Structure 1
């Protein structure tokens, strides 16, 4: 006896095939998104480390005003247009 596929049977098989295809596409999309998340987390960690290093370097760097004061006192440098006035204390 040959069994003939009915219209309802054909619809059920097509729906099952569509479901399987959709499921596979969804799994592939989820895998890709998970890989993207891992890559972005690694990039975030790297950027946080770099940011921490730069912030530490910035915190350890003296201010501009302090550096200017050191240059003026130790090296005797002046800004353009300024005049040097030497005052000598009398003993």
Structure 2
């Protein structure tokens, strides 16, 4: 009779330990998933803002010819006939900093 009670207590103890292990493991997994979710949500918000900015730039380039000229001058270095391009090079004093 004593052996059955000891075996029964051993089985119950093992099941309790297994249950506690599973609960703790699930909590750690949920915490990690929540952290990843927050990171992805922040990244998504950043990408949405960047996308909105790019959409505005596309709309401006389609509707405003002076905007296209500005982009060509800034990014591609285009100049109108008769104009000269001026390039600012850093001085030696600025390079030594």
TM-score (norm 1): 0.62
Count of matched residue pairs = 67
Per-residue deviation, residues 5-39 of structure 1 (Å, max 9, x unmatched) = xxx32111101100001111111111111110110
The equivalent of 1:54 in structure 2 is 47
Gaps of 5+ in 2: 70-97
Rounded Cα–Cα distance in structure 2 between residues aligned with 1:36 and 1:65? 44
TM-score (norm 2): 0.59
Tell me the CA shift for residue 69 of structure 1: 4.1
Higher-Rg structure is 1
Tell me the CA shift for residue 67 of structure 1: 2.4
- Greater helix fraction, Structure 1 or Structure 2: 2
The equivalent of 1:10 in structure 2 is 3
